[in-house]
Every structure is written in C-alpha cells, then in structure tokens.
C-alpha cells in the first residue's frame, strides 16, 4: 500500500503491507481536508484479514464525514459506528495551519509543557534550532521562522505517534502522543484528553501501527520526501508478524 499527497503546508505519505498470507490489510489511514487544517490518522482493525479491514474502513468513512470536529468527538463517533465490528486501535492528529501553541490553547502533559517553553523561547537548544536548521531539511524548511501550525493529537490503543524535529547532529524525537487504553468500538476510557503542541516548518509527524517496532521514529531520513521517509521506516522497522502501516506528515512551511 502506497499513497501520498499534499494538504496546505503538509506533505504526507503512507506505506504499508498486510501480514504474510493475507490479501488485505487491517491497517488503514485517513488524510482529509478539515478546512484550514488537515486531519490525519492511522487505524488498526483488530486482528488481520477482511474483518479487520472492514472495521478500519468503517472508521475512515466516519472520520471523512466531519473531519473538523474535535478529536474526542470524532473518536466517540467512530466508537459508536464500530460497535458491531471487531473494533480498532487508532490515533488521530489535527494539524491547524498558521496557528501556534498560544492560539491553539493550553497543552497537556510534560512533553507539551516543554513545547510551551519553546514557544516562549525558553529552551536554549530548541531556540537555537529556530535560528538555524540542519541544511538537510531543504530550502523550504531552512528557516523555522515561517508559519507554525497547531498539532492536536489523540490515541486509543497502540497506534503510536511521534513528532520529530531535526537539529544539527541528527533528528530528535521531540514528543510522543499519550495513548489511552481501550478499543474503539468495544471500550473507550471515560475521559479522552487530546494534547496540543506547536508544529514548526521542518517537523515530521510519524504515526505507526503495532506492526512496526518501537524504534520506528528514531532516525527517519529527513532529507528525503515524505514518501521516501514512509517507505524507509516500513522497510527497516516492519516486524513481519502483523499488518504494518506508517504515515509520515512533514510541515513544509508554506502551501505549494
């Protein structure tokens, strides 16, 4: 499975494959225009094969209907729609263009607090990066003074998401989504709390199903296109024991 495209300043791509012996994958993705924002996500239908794929595709259909809704509301709508299915794990991210952390609202958790310091210029290492970025990012992301976006993410189950930033010396995984326990379509936690962070030009959002190892976001080839990044991560970190899918979404600074 391969797909790629661009929404506003976000260059995105997916790469995936079913587990050996299956014709279809229970992992799927959503990338949809949410009106001044991009809704992206990875859905992992429980198990594999046709029934897992059916659950994942049902969730994609629900998410595509009203992509601008708050993430907790979207998760609840998917839960209601998947009650007669196998259920799914999923992580969603809403990238709101041209909106930084202060405009998007207060973040949740230690990772987000570190980003709040960054937004105020309080973190020295990230502040220096804002003035000078690794040349491998390309001309469109060489300056991090361009328009920022607000990244809001929410996960239920074991679809992982990381925000990666390049600094001199190599990429650094800056933050990871807080995942809630549960199964969409079977059991949701009583409270779903999304986190909001700032996404700068050059930042890379990577989302992966549990068919990839935990090291999936350790060292993506940031000099490459989103398509090449997704393919590289799949090739290097695919466990080979389950359906596998990775979504890469790169902030390119300004729309094409």
Three-state SS string over 37-91 comes to: EEEEEEEEECCCCHHHHHHHHHHHHHHHHCCCCCHHHHHHHHHHHCCCCCCEEEE
Angle between helices 50-65 and 71-81 (to 10 degrees): 140
Q: How far apart are the first and last CA of the chain?
A: 25
Res. 128 pLDDT band, cuts 50 70 90? very low
Which residue did the predictor score with more confidence, 210 or 174?
210
CB of 16 closer than 8 Å to CB of 25: yes
Question: CA-CA distance, 211 to 162, in Å (whole number)?
Answer: 16
Decide the pairing of beta strands 149-156 and 179-180.
parallel
CB of 252 closer than 8 Å to CB of 11: yes
pLDDT, tens only, 153-169: 999 999 999 999 988 77
All domains in the chain, ordered by first residue: 2-251 (3.60.40.10)
Question: CA-CA distance, 224 to 245, in Å (whole number)?
Answer: 18
Question: CA-CA distance, 210 to 241, in Å (whole number)?
Answer: 10
User: Phi, psi at residue 241, to the nearest 5°?
Assistant: -115, 5
Residue 131 is predicted with a pLDDT of 29
Q: Indicate whether 114 pLDDT > 70.
A: no
Res. 230 pLDDT band, cuts 50 70 90? very high
Q: Indicate whether 192 pLDDT > 60.
A: yes
Question: CA-CA distance, 31 to 136, in Å (whole number)?
Answer: 26
């Amino acid at each position: 499975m391969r797909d790629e495209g661009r929404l506003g300043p976000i260059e995105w791509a997916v790469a995936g494959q079913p587990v050996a012996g299956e014709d279809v994958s229970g992992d799927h993705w959503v990338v949809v225009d949410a009106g001044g924002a991009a809704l992206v996500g990875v859905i992992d239908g429980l198990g594999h094969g046709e029934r897992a794929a059916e659950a994942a595709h049902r969730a994609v259909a629900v998410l595509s209907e009203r992509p601008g809704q708050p993430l907790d509301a979207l998760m609840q709508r998917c839960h209601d729609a998947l009650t007669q299915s196998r259920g799914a794990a999923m992580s969603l991210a809403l990238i709101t263009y041209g909106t930084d952390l202060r405009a998007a609202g207060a973040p949740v958790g230690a990772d987000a607090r570190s980003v709040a310091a960054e937004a105020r210029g309080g973190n020295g290492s990230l502040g220096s990066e804002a003035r000078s970025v690794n040349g491998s990012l390309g001309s469109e992301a060489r300056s991090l003074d361009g328009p920022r976006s607000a990244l809001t993410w929410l996960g239920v189950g074991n679809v992982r998401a990381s925000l990666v930033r390049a600094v001199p010396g190599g990429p650094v995984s800056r933050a990871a989504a807080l995942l809630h326990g549960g199964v969409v379509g079977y059991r949701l936690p009583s409270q779903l709390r999304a986190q909001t962070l700032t996404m700068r030009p050059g930042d890379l959002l990577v989302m992966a199903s549990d068919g990839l190892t935990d090291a999936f976001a350790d060292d993506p080839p940031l000099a490459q296109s989103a398509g090449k990044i997704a393919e590289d991560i799949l090739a290097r970190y695919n466990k080979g024991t389950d359906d596998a899918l990775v979504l890469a979404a790169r902030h390119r600074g300004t729309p094409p």
